[in-house]
């Protein structure tokens, strides 16, 4: 499964909220696949989650700002110490997510709508990954 960098954070913090019903169904399905052991390949750019998102543009970009979401992808790869196209398991991703500092978390998620709505924070991220173990 190809997953854009910042979607590792969204996947860990996903609690059933999304941009549309189709999007939420897709996220639910993908998170189950990952937790069942399917490997992921981390990328910068549109992925399988974007494919089910109403914000995806006909050119394959993101209506919320391709530049902004790609900046978040690159920040995610940097703070998780991953290279583009690197393959990992969800267990490995959780281990990396659990070690983040507040500054590293904000470099990826700062200013995002879902954080502003109170659905995402470093505290919730740590709780989510430790509750899965
Ligand atoms: S299209 Fe944009 S808003 Fe939708 S999942 Fe992709 S990055 Fe997120």
- pLDDT digits over 4-16, tens only? 999 999 999 999 9
Q: CA-CA distance, 80 to 96, in Å (whole number)?
A: 6
What residue's CA is closest to ligand 1, atom 6?
A: 50
Q: CA-CA distance, 42 to 6, in Å (whole number)?
A: 9
CA of 53 to the centre of ligand 1 (A): 6
CA of 116 to the centre of ligand 1 (A): 17
Mutating to test ligand 1, I would choose from 28, 49, 65, 113 the residue with most ligand atoms within 8 A of its C-beta, which is 49
Q: Does 53 contact ligand 1 (Cβ within 6 A)? A: yes
DSSP string, 85-113: T-EE-HHHHHHHHTT--HHHHHHHHTT-H
Rg (CA), the chain: 13
For the chain, the structural domain boundaries read: 2-131
pLDDT (tens digit, 9 = 90+) per residue, 76-126?
999 999 999 999 999 999 999 999 999 999 999 999 999 999 999 999 999
At residue 132, the pLDDT reads: 80
């Amino acid at each position: 499964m190809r997953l854009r960098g910042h979607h590792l954070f969204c996947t860990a913090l996903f609690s059933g909220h999304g941009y549309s019903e189709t999007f939420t169904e897709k996220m639910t399905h993908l998170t189950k696949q990952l937790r069942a052991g399917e490997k992921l390949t981390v990328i910068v750019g549109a992925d399988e989650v974007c494919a089910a998102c109403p914000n995806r543009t006909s050119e394959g970009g993101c209506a919320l700002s391709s530049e902004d979401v790609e900046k978040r992808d690159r920040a995610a790869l940097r703070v998780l110490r991953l290279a583009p196209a690197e393959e990992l398991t969800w267990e490995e991703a959780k281990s990396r997510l659990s070690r983040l500092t507040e500054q590293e978390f904000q470099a990826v998620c700062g200013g995002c709508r879902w954080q502003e709505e109170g659905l995402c924070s470093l505290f919730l991220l740590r709780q989510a990954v430790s509750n899965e173990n």
